[in-house]
Structure 1
C-alpha cells in the first residue's frame, strides 16, 4: 500500500516567501463575468509586475551524500568525458553518418517513439517555468532562498516578457500587438543586437539553433493569431490579450495532450487527473520543486549528437551539424548548431523534427543512462554562469549537492515505488550503488523499466504530478479556468491541436517554405 501524504516526510509548503508585485494576480480574474474584461485585467496584472517566487521541496529527507571533496570528486569522475555516462559516439565519422548509420553508436540508441522535436519542445517548456541564476554548483543552498526568475506556470512569460507596455523591446514598434521578428537568413530569426545576442526575455532560448527556431516559431504563431483576430473583428483594445490567451491555451493543450503522454504515458496522466496528485500538493500557489528540477533533466539523454537542421538551406543542400562542436567557437556562421549566430543557412526545417507525413522526420535518443558525446564539452556561451565544468553530466550531478537532494532509492521507498538497481555505481567508492543521485536514478528507471521509451517509477510520478499541478494551480490556464475548452485554431483533427498544427498555422511548416 502506498504511504499517505502525511507519513512520507513531505513538506507541504515548498517555500519561505512568495509575493506579488502589482495589485492583481493574473489568475484572479477568471471568475469575472465579462470574459473580455478578464483578459484585459490579466494583461494589466502582468504588466504591473511578475510573481516573485523561490524554489522549494516536496520531500524533507536527508541528502544522498555529504557535500565534501571526496563526494564531489566521485561525481566529477562519474560525469566526465569518456566515463560511465558518455555514449562514446565516434564523432570522427561526422554529423551525417551518425544520423544515417545509427549502428555506429551502439551505446546511443534511437527512440522510434519520439521525434527529434520532442527534445526541444521539452527544453522550451523548461525555460518557460524555471530559471535558477543564483545557486552555485556543489555548494549547499536552501531552495527557499533561491529565486526562480520564471513564473512557475506554463504562461509563456519566456516569450511575452512583461507585455508590450512593460517590455516594448520584444514587440514590433509599428504594431505593438505583434512581436519583433527578423531575418538575415532565408527565413525568420530572433531579433538580435549588433553582437548577435537575441532580444528575448530568456537568453537560454538562443542556446542552440533548434530552441531559437522554436522561439521564433512561437513569435510568428502569435503574430498570425493577431491577424486572425483582427480579420474576425476583435476590438483593437482586446487583440493582444485575446491573442495571448489563444496562444497560451493551445500551447497548454499541446503540453497535456502531446508532450506529456510521450514522456510519462497516458495511463499515469489519466490516473493523476482522476484521483489527484499524491505528492505535489502545495498549500499555497505553485512552486518548482528541486526534486522535479533535477528529474526533468532526463531530457539531456534524448539529445542526438548531430541533427539535420534543414533540407536545402546550405547552398541548396541539407545543413547538418553536431549539436555542439568546439570547432565552431568564434565563427560567424558556426559549423555546429549552437545559437547566437545569424547566416542564410541557420534556420530550422521542421520536417526533420515533427512528423508532417512526408517521410523526413527523425527520432531522438532513448531515455537511458548514456548522453551524446558532444554534451561532455559544452561551449561556455551555453552555460549561464559562463564557467566550467563544461560536461553537462558533471553539472547535473553537482547540482544534487547544491540542493542536498535525497537519493533516487530514498524517494522510491518514500513514494512506495519498487527500486531499481544501481550497483554499477559501486566503482566510484562513495556509496552511490545504494544511494544514487536522483538524475541518474531517473535515467536508470527509464532504461530498465521504460525500455528507454518513456519515464517510469519515481521520474514519471514527479514529472507527471508537477506538470499537471502547474496547470491546475494556475487559475488562468485552460485546465483550471475552462476544462471543457477545446482548441479553436485549424488542425488536422477536429477538437485537438499538435505541434505540427502550430507550425503550420505559424507558416513555418515545410509546405510554406519549401526548404
Structure 2
C-alpha cells in the first residue's frame, strides 16, 4: 500500500487488523506500549544529540516565518494541543538514557475531563474558586491574567499551563468559558447547588466535542478522524480501562514542537515576538501581551488567523535553545534542545522505530531519502518521533500528520473519550454543542 495513501481507510491495508487490548494488569496511572511486540529502536546517543542539537537537522535556524515555511493550520491549534496533553498526561520522571517504563506514573487521569482546569473542584481546591461565588473560578486583576502569588506564579491546577504566556492566556480563556456557563445555567433556572456541576458538564462536553470534531480533523485529516470515530480504534482498544501509550506521549503527540512559529502577533496592537524568551511564563502577563484569540483560530468562514509552522522535522531556534527557566540547569548543553530531549526520551522508554510501526500496521515505510538522515552517515531506521515529523512533511507537505502519526493520535484520543463513561459519547450521545472553540475563547 502507498505510504502516503489518504483514501479511507488511509492507515491500514485491507487485510484484517488486530487490535491490542489493554492488559488487565495495567491501571490508569501507568504508561505502557501501544505496540509491545515491536523491538525497541536503538542508536548511539551521540547520533541523537547530533540530530537534535543546534546546527543539526532538527534546527531550522533563525530564518523568519515565511509563507513557504507555514502550513494551512491556524497557529492556535498546537497550543490547544499542548493544553490537551497537560489534561491527560503528567510524567514527572527525570530525563534518562534508559527508563524502567513500569516505574513511570501518570499524575493525570487518562480522560479528557479538564482535570488540569478544575483540579479537585471547589471543595478540594478552594483556592482556585471565588469565595463569594464558589461555582466560578477566581481570576486575576481585571480578569486579564490568571490569579498569581506574590512571586508571580500562577495559582492553577497544573503549573505547566503557566510555562509560557500563550498557554497561560489559553488557560485563562477556558476559566472564563466555565464562568460564562455558570451564568447561563443560572439564567436557565438551574438550582444553585447544581450550577457548578452543570457548568462543568457543559464545559467538558464542548471540550470533548472540539477535540474530536475541530482539533482532530485539522491534525490527522477528516477522513481518518471520521473513520476511527465510526469504526472505533483498531490497534488501541481500551477493553480494561484507559492508559496513555508511550508511542503517543513520547513520540506522535509531540508533533506540535515542529509547529511552533518563530514569532507570534499577540493582538492588534503588538508586533510579532518569539515564544522564548519574550513569552516566558511564571510571571504576570503585561497588559500589552494579552492574547486576542481571533489571531490564532479561524472563525467560521474565515482563515484570517496566523498559521502554524509546517510539521517537517525542524524546530525553531527558541526550542533548540530553551532558556534555563524552562529546562533548569543542565550539565549537558544539548539538553537545552527540545529536539534532543524528545529523541532521548523516545529511546529511553524503548519506543520502536517509525519504520517498524509502519510495517506493523501495513504502511510502506518512508525510504532513506525521504527520512533524510543519510547526510549524517546514519544507515539504520528512524526514531519514532522524528519519523512522524518527516512522514508529515513527505505525505502531507507538513500540513497535518501522516498515516503512522495520525493513526496513533486519532486512535488514542478517541479511545480515551470512548473509555470514559462520563464522556458525551457515552452518557449524552444526543448532546450537541452550542459553541465552537472560537466562541468559547471569545473576549
Which consecutive aligned stretches of 4+ in structure 1 deviate over 3 angstroms post-superposition? 1-6, 14-17, 356-360, 385-388, 426-432
2:400 counterpart of 1:454: yes
Higher mean C-alpha displacement, 164-173 vs 419-428: 419-428
Segment drifting more, 417-426 vs 463-472: 417-426
Corresponding residue number in structure 1 for 2:32 = 56
Map 1:35-184 onto structure 2 (within 5 A): 53-60=29-36, 61-65=38-42, 71-90=44-63, 98-99=64-65, 102=66, 109-111=69-71, 113-142=72-101, 144-183=102-141
How far off its partner does 1:449 sit? 0.7
Aligned to 2:374: 426
Asked if the contact 1:277/1:469 (under 8 Å) is kept, the reply is yes
User: Which residue, 22, 45, 54 being the options, matches 1:13?
Assistant: 22
Distance in 2, Cα, partners of 1:283 & 1:246? 27
Between the aligned partners of 1:448 and 1:151, the Cα distance in structure 2 is 35
Q: Distance in 1 between matches of 2:292 and 2:230?
A: 39
- Deviation digits for residues 167-201 of structure 1 (CA, Å, limit 9, x no counterpart): 111111221111110027xx521111111111111
> Equivalent residue for 2:264?
307
| Among 252, 257, 262, the residue aligned to 2:218 | 262
Q: Secondary structure at the match of 1:205?
A: helix
**Residues 410 and 358 (structure 1 numbering): CA distance in 2 closer, same or farther, change over 3 Å?**
closer
CA contact (8 A) 1:3 1:414 kept: no
Per-residue Cα deviation, 1:332-366 (whole angstroms, up to 9, x for no partner): xxxx1111222222311112112247875211111
Instruction: Give the Cα–Cα distance (whole angstroms) in 2 for the partners of residues 440 and 475 of structure 1.
Output: 35
Equivalent residues of 2:322, 2:336 under 8 A apart: yes
Of structures 1 and 2, the larger Rg is shown by 1
What is the deviation of 1:292?
0.8
Give how far 1:282 is off. 2.9
Q: Distance in 1 between matches of 2:202 and 2:415?
A: 21
Residues of 2 paired with 1:351 and 1:166: CA distance? 34
| Alpha carbons of structure 1 residues 2 and 406: separation in structure 2 relative to 1, 3 Å | farther
Secondary structure of residue in 2 paired with 1:176: coil
Note if contact 2:182-2:199 (Cα within 8 Å) is conserved in structure 1: yes
Pair 1:422–1:205, CA change in 2 (3 A): farther
Whole-Å separation in 2 of the counterparts to 1:477 and 1:419: 35
Q: Tell which has more relative contact order, 1 or 2 (C-alpha 8 A, sep 6+).
A: 2
- Take 2:39 and 2:261, find their aligned partners in 1: how far apart are those partners? 35
Which of 259, 270, 281 matches 1:339? Answer: 281
- Matched residue, 1:36: none
SS in 2 for 1:247: helix
Cα pair 1:74 1:429 within 8 Å, conserved: no
Match of 1:39 in 2: none
1:405-420 correspondence runs (5 A)? 405-420=351-366
Deviations 1:12-34 (A, max 9, x none): 3358442xxxxxxxxxxxxxxxx
Partner of 2:320: 376
Correspondence for 2:342 among 351, 376, 396: 396
Q: Matches of 1:322 and 1:137 in 2, distance apart?
A: 29
Shift of 1:464: 0.8
Equivalent runs, 1:495-506 vs 2, <5 Å: 497-504=435-442
The answer to whether the 8 Å contact 1:3/1:415 transfers is: no
2:430 is the alignment partner of 1:484: yes
**CA displacement, residues 413-455 of structure 1 (integer Å, 9 cap, x when unaligned):** 11111111244213444544xx100011101110001111111
Preserved CA contact (<8 Å) 2:20 2:236 = no
CA offsets 1:391-418 (integer angstroms, 9 cap, x no match): 0100000011221110000001111111
TM-score when normalising by structure 1: 0.78
Change beyond 3 A, Cα 1:448–1:430: closer
Residues 1:472 and 2:415 are matched in the alignment: no
- Aligned residue-pair number: 422
Measure, in 2, the Cα distance between the counterparts of 1:288 and 1:193. 33
What is residue 234 of structure 1 aligned with on the other side? Answer: 190
Kindly provide the CA deviation profile for residues 58-86 of structure 1, in whole angstroms up to 9, marking residues without a partner as x.
112211116xxxx1111001001111111
- Give distance in 1, aligned partners of 2:280 and 2:152: 12
1:364 is aligned to 308
Cα 1:228–1:386 shift into 2, 3 Å? farther
Give the whole-Å Cα distance in 1 for the aligned partners of 2:248 and 2:26. 19
